[in-house]
């Protein structure tokens, strides 16, 4: 299965798509000053300490204050000891050097840590934790042991007081490459530390790599055959970066100069737009309904137009199996994280449930994000979690509807007509006008005119005042004004 990385460079936006076998699997979006803050290091100021929550709010100069929990200030090795009170560690006005763990999401500010970590191609440097480790994603015991031996040899030489973790990309890397990587990280941290001395509170001390270069570090694997960038200058910069830090990838990078937009050529643009819809059609005729809330994401499976060829159980099983594969892809594509509840169509046979669950686990295994799938609950639901470190695609590209304010529905025309009638009665009690002018959307005015001989005429008669109607094309369906004249 061929795998490509596509990079679309815009004036204020960079978009990256991971395409496997011709199908878009993941989309990343970075916009100037808005998203992609994870990994950035700031000098912040504590503005409020919350002893009851063991946390504090920190001002970084962003739109919202960020959240720092005491657990993100203490290393992993506590020997079972309770966490110290946050007021012992922080006070209002204190300056702290922090790193963003999670981007701001919805109404929540960024999540912070004081346990800084700086990643490179093969290693992660932890200047405030003296620990040598290997990524859990490297499962081969012999390879884990080999990497640990190398790190325990070179870390005391270059970074005796700091911790280092071997990333997944370090699998198969030789000692020379790891030594060079650690040397780079050491020099980088010295530079960051120097900048910290002069930085003012609320200022960025160290920013992570731009998205076009970060893909080489985070997405590039041996399976990636080509990286296409639709900007010649950016492609040249990324190639130069690759020659220094990821030499094996330099030959895979090329500039795309075709006439058609690169995302259009690969169908990514259409896939991106579909990823913003609630409904996802299945090839069998069934469909998924995906609803993302503040607390969790729910996914409902329906057979739709698919009726099967033999019996109902066959129809249900086939729809659920297809849905399992589609769900795994949609989670990656939309970057949905946190708690996810999946309501598969109810299956009577235990072997069918087992088959669906195994299919879901198999498809999700290709996901780089940490996931955990639980067995079917007594209610027939599958609960799972997916690690969330950045905002979902929907939160980055969309905002709540100004008409329904995120409810997903609007009041009917008939409901608005009744509300107008009540508002007229309310205004009649408060004022003594000669008449009333009702301004509303054309649909609402049309319905009121249809009822002129009915309810509205009765209202005019009871109030002994005329009611004039005026359509306003720029009014939404729920917007209206009752003006005493």
Show Cβ contacts of residue 473 under 8 Å, excluding neighbours closer than 6 positions.
441, 442
* 16 DSSP β-pair partners: 7, 28
Q: Is 225 helix (H, G, I), strand (E, B) or coil?
A: strand
Contact 386, 371 (CB under 8 A): yes
pLDDT digits (tens, 9 = 90+) for 12-26: 889 999 999 889 999
Contact 24, 266 (CB under 8 A): yes
Structure tokens at 24: 């878009």
pLDDT of residue 443: 93
Structure tokens at 112: 């912070």
pLDDT of residue 454: 58
Q: Is 382 helix (H, G, I), strand (E, B) or coil?
A: strand
Q: How far apart are CA 109 and CA 68, in angstroms?
A: 10
Nearest-CA neighbor of 438 among 418, 454, 453? Answer: 418
**Phi, psi of 167, deg, nearest 5:** -80, 170
Contact 7, 227 (CB under 8 A): yes
193-201: long-range contacts, CB 8 A cutoff, minimum separation 24? 193/127, 196/43, 196/97, 199/43, 200/43, 201/43, 201/44, 201/45, 201/59, 201/95
Q: What kind and span of H or E run contains 175?
A: helix 175-198
Residues 356, 358, 359: CA angle, nearest 5 degrees: 65
Nearest-CA neighbor of 117 among 137, 100, 105? Answer: 100
pLDDT of residue 451: 62
Q: How far apart are CA 207 and CA 147, in angstroms?
A: 28
Show Cβ contacts of residue 356 under 8 Å, excluding neighbours closer than 6 positions.
317, 320, 321, 324, 344, 347
pLDDT digits (tens, 9 = 90+) for 209-231: 888 888 877 776 657 899 999 99
Q: How far apart are CA 275 and CA 414, in angstroms?
A: 33
Question: What pTM was estimated for this model as a whole?
Answer: 0.73
Given the structure tokens 């198969």, which residue do they identify? 172
pLDDT of residue 342: 97
CA atoms within 13 A on the CB side of 442: 2
- Per-residue buried b or exposed e for 352-385, using 16+ beta carbons within 10 Å of the residue's own CB: bbebbbebbeebbeebebebebeebeeeeebebb
Contact 4, 226 (CB under 8 A): yes
Distance separating the N- and C-terminal Cα atoms of the chain: 72
Contact 232, 257 (CB under 8 A): yes
Structure tokens at 167: 């990333």
pLDDT per 10-residue tile (average), the chain, 485 residues = 89 90 90 71 94 93 90 72 89 93 82 92 88 86 93 87 88 86 86 86 86 79 84 93 80 93 93 92 91 91 68 88 95 93 94 96 88 93 87 85 81 92 90 90 90 72 90 92 91
* 19 DSSP β-pair partners: 4, 24
C-alpha 343 chain-centroid distance:
22
Q: How far apart are CA 212 and CA 218, in angstroms?
A: 11
Residues 164, 69, 209: CA angle, nearest 5 degrees: 45
């Amino acid at each position: 299965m061929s795998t490509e990385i596509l990079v679309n460079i815009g004036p204020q936006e960079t978009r990256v798509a991971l395409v496997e076998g011709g199908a878009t699997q993941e989309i990343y979006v970075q916009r100037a000053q808005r998203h992609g803050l994870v990994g950035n290091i700031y000098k912040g100021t504590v503005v409020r300490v919350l002893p009851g929550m063991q946390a504090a709010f920190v001002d970084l100069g962003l739109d919202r204050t960020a959240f720092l929990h005491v657990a993100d200030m203490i290393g992993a090795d506590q020997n079972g000891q309770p966490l110290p009170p946050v007021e012992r560690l922080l006070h209002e006005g204190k300056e702290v050097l922090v790193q963003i763990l999670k981007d701001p999401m919805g109404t929540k500010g960024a999540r912070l840590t004081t346990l800084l970590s700086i990643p490179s191609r093969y290693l992660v440097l932890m200047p405030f934790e003296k620990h040598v480790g290997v990524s859990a994603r490297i499962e081969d015991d012999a390879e884990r042991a080999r990497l640990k031996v190398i790190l325990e040899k070179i870390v005391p030489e270059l970074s005796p007081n700091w911790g280092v973790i071997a990333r997944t990309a370090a699998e198969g890397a030789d000692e020379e490459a790891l030594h060079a990587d650690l040397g780079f990280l050491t020099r980088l941290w010295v530079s960051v530390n120097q900048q910290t001395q002069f930085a003012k509170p609320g200022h960025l001390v160290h920013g992570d790599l731009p998205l076009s270069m970060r893909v080489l570090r985070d997405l590039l694997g041996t399976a990636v055959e080509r990286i296409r960038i639709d900007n010649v200058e950016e492609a040249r910069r990324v190639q130069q970066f690759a020659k220094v830090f990821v030499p094996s990838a330099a030959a895979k990078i090329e500039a795309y100069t075709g006439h058609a937009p690169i995302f259009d050529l690969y169908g990514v643009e259409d896939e991106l737009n579909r990823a913003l819809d609630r409904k996802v059609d299945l090839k069998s005729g069934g469909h998924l309904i995906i609803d993302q809330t503040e607390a969790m994401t729910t996914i409902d499976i329906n057979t739709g137009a698919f009726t099967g060829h033999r019996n109902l159980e066959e129809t249900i099983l086939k729809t659920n199996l297809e849905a399992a594969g589609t769900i795994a892809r949609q989670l990656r594509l939309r970057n949905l994280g946190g708690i996810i509840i999946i309501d598969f169509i109810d299956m009577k046979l235990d072997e069918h449930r087992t088959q669906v669950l195994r299919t879901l686990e198999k498809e999700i295994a290709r996901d780089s994000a940490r996931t955990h799938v639980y067995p079917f609950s007594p209610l027939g639901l599958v609960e799972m979690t997916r690690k969330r470190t950045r905002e979902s695609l929907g939160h980055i590209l969309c905002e709540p509807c100004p008409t329904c304010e995120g409810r997903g529905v609007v009041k009917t025309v008939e409901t608005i007509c009744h509300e107008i009638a009540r508002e007229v009665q309310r205004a009649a009690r408060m004022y003594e006008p000669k008449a009333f002018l009702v301004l509303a959307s054309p649909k609402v005015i049309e319905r009121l005119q249809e009822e002129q001989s009915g309810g509205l005429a009765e209202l005019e008669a009871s109030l002994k005042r005329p009611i004039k109607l005026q359509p306003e094309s720029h009014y939404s369906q729920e917007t209206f004004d009752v003006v005493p004249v």
